[in-house]
Amino acid sequence: MRRLLRLSVVRRSFVSADVSLRDRFERGLAAPICLTWELTYACNLACTHCLSSSGRRDPLELSTAEAKALIDEIATMKIFYINIGGGEPMIRRDFFELIEYAVSRNIGVKFSTNGTRIDPAAATRLASIDYLDIQISIDGVDATTSDRIRGVGSYDAARRAMDNLRAADFGQFKISVVMTRDSVEQLDEFEKLAQLYGAELRLTRLRPSGRGADVWQELHPTLAQNRRLYRWLLDRPNVLTGDSFFHLSALGEPLDGLNLCGAGRVVCLIDPVGQVYACPFVIHDEFNAGNIRDAGFNAVWSESELFRSLREPGSPGACTSCGSFDACRGGCMAAKFFTGLEMTDPDPECVFGHGEEALKKKVTIARPNSSPDHSRRIPVTLSSK
Amino acid sequence: MVVATTNSLELSTRWQLNDHVSLRDEAFGALAYHHDTRRLVFLKSVALVDVVRRLGEFATVNDALCALVPTSEHGRYAAALAALRRSEIIREC
């Protein structure tokens, strides 16, 4: 079994009278539950919706020794598993050294990859590591749909990686898909593809972060599509979402998951140069809590002023009068920020359309850019083998 | 499928925290992570965490409850411990 996390709450009459677990989470934990660590900004693809505007390696990326020291600190803080991403993490020369070191410290590793580096030899090595989980990204169930976002040849490369993992007897991996206006029309086909490989399907929300800001307007699912997606997910609790779609829980029964914005409270991101951001979707100065190179990760997590303020009870703002605030909590901070909304505005994809109204009412919209941009300056082509 | 039971027979055996489980203290109680089943469980009470940590010191679950928990609360704690045993956070010695 490869899945690193299954959540359950032992409440059996342990629901305390005054505060629910979610309220506790909103006040922050001693260490994150969900820590994403992007190993490198280097990437051999140039997806149009890249959250981290990746492409070129940053010369200041953590060294192998620094990365191992961080893994030691993660172990000390009892962070039981980490999500590794990038860029394309497998591009780092010490990729295997680092994930094997983490696993040796009893830290579960899940990493996201475009699959281009999973040849038969890499698949065999990956299969030999227990306590490892892999997410392969595609953005359509066919090359035409997926390559439009991820680049020519990327879909075939991802399928080859899946074939290689299957041949190496890796076990269950995950197929990860960002929900766009096009991919959301292929839900049943994605389910079939996952079944074909005995894989788990993971769907996440398209966010206007990084280069995603450039395509969000034309690619984010319509209101009607989001309603269909909600119903589809409700019927399939086994489809993973990383708690991505809690803004849709306002439609009724809550979706599986914690249904809250965990930024700086239970979630955070460490970028390739050691900067700590509130979540993987807000790589921007405004959400930078500090750098692990100064006094270590624990110091940033527990002492940063930004994180402390995120753990204070927030105002529901414009959502105060909406009966569904308790279900969606006003939605995603990153989605608001990068579409030019205020934190007290509704989510831009509010299922009742309040976000769209809020956007229309703004006289001028100042959409912030993603601060660090490592996009390549020339177009990327992926040579097929 | 495991059926929930907290009968007197179970309470008269010795349980302890599973070796494959790590506990992380939190203000509300603790997170318990099972490294084999990869299940993350939230223990929503500091008092429950204390009982879970110290279960192995006692010859039976009943002894642990008598020593650590007010009598009126035994039923609640026994039910919580049974749930934790089903998720293999604690196990019989």
ipTM of the complex: 0.84
For the record, the structure tokens of B24 come out as 């992380």
Beta-sheet strand order (sheet of A34-38) = A200-205, A174-179, A132-137, A108-113, A81-85, A34-38, A267-270, A275-277, A288-291
Asked if B27 lies within 8 A of A27 by C-beta distance, the reply is yes
- Least confident range of A133-137, A237-241, A333-337, B2-6: B2-6
Residues of A within 8 A of B44 (CB-CB) are 9-11, 14-16, 21
CA distance B37 to chain A (A): 8
Residues of B within 8 A of A5 (CB-CB) are 38-40
Residue A236: predicted pLDDT: 95
Name which of B35, B40, B79 is nearest A106 (Cβ-Cβ).
Answer: B35
Nearest CA in chain A to B79: A12
Asked if B80 reaches chain A (Cβ–Cβ under 8 Å), the answer is yes
Find, among A107, A10, A82, A110, the residue nearest to B88 by Cα: A10
Own/partner pairs for A236-244, CB < 8 Å, 24+ apart?
A236/A191, A238/A200, A239/A191, A239/A200, A239/A201, A239/A202, A239/A203, A240/A174, A240/A200, A240/A201, A240/A202, A240/A203, A241/A202, A241/A203, A241/A204, A242/A34, A242/A202, A242/A204, A244/A203, A244/A204, A244/A205
Residue A379: predicted pLDDT: 67
Higher-pLDDT residue of A326 and B7 is: A326
Residue A369: predicted pLDDT: 73
Cα B42 from Cα A120, distance rounded (Å): 39
Asked if B33 reaches chain A (Cβ–Cβ under 8 Å), the answer is yes
CA angle (A170, A160, A129) in 5-degree steps: 25
Residue A351: predicted pLDDT: 96
- Least confident range of A229-233, A302-306, B11-15: B11-15
Strand stretches in chain A, DSSP E: 6-10, 34-38, 81-85, 108-113, 132-137, 174-179, 200-205, 267-270, 275-277, 288-291
Arithmetic mean of pLDDT over chain A: 91
A108-126 pLDDT, tens digit each: 999 999 999 999 999 999 9
Residue B3: predicted pLDDT: 39
Nearest CA in chain B to A108: B35
Asked if A4 reaches chain B (Cβ–Cβ under 8 Å), the answer is yes
Give CA separation, A273 vs A35, A37, A113, A280, in Å. Answer: 15, 10, 19, 14
Asked if A33 reaches chain B (Cβ–Cβ under 8 Å), the answer is yes
What's B17's DSSP letter?
Answer: E
What does the H/E/C string look like for A140-167?
Answer: CCCHHHHHHHHCCCHHHHHHHHHHHHHH
Nearest CA in chain B to A79: B24
The sign of the torsion formed by the CA atoms of A359, A360, A361, A366 equals positive
Read off the pTM: 0.91
Helix axes A154-167, A187-197, angle to 10 degrees: 30
Asked if B86 reaches chain A (Cβ–Cβ under 8 Å), the answer is no
Residues of A within 8 A of B43 (CB-CB) are 10, 14
* Residue A290: strand pairing partners: A276
* Residue A240: strand pairing partners: A202
The pLDDT of A258-263, averaged and rounded, is 86
- Least confident range of A67-71, A184-188, B45-49: B45-49
Asked if A8 lies within 8 A of B39 by C-beta distance, the reply is yes
The pLDDT of A247-266, averaged and rounded, is 90
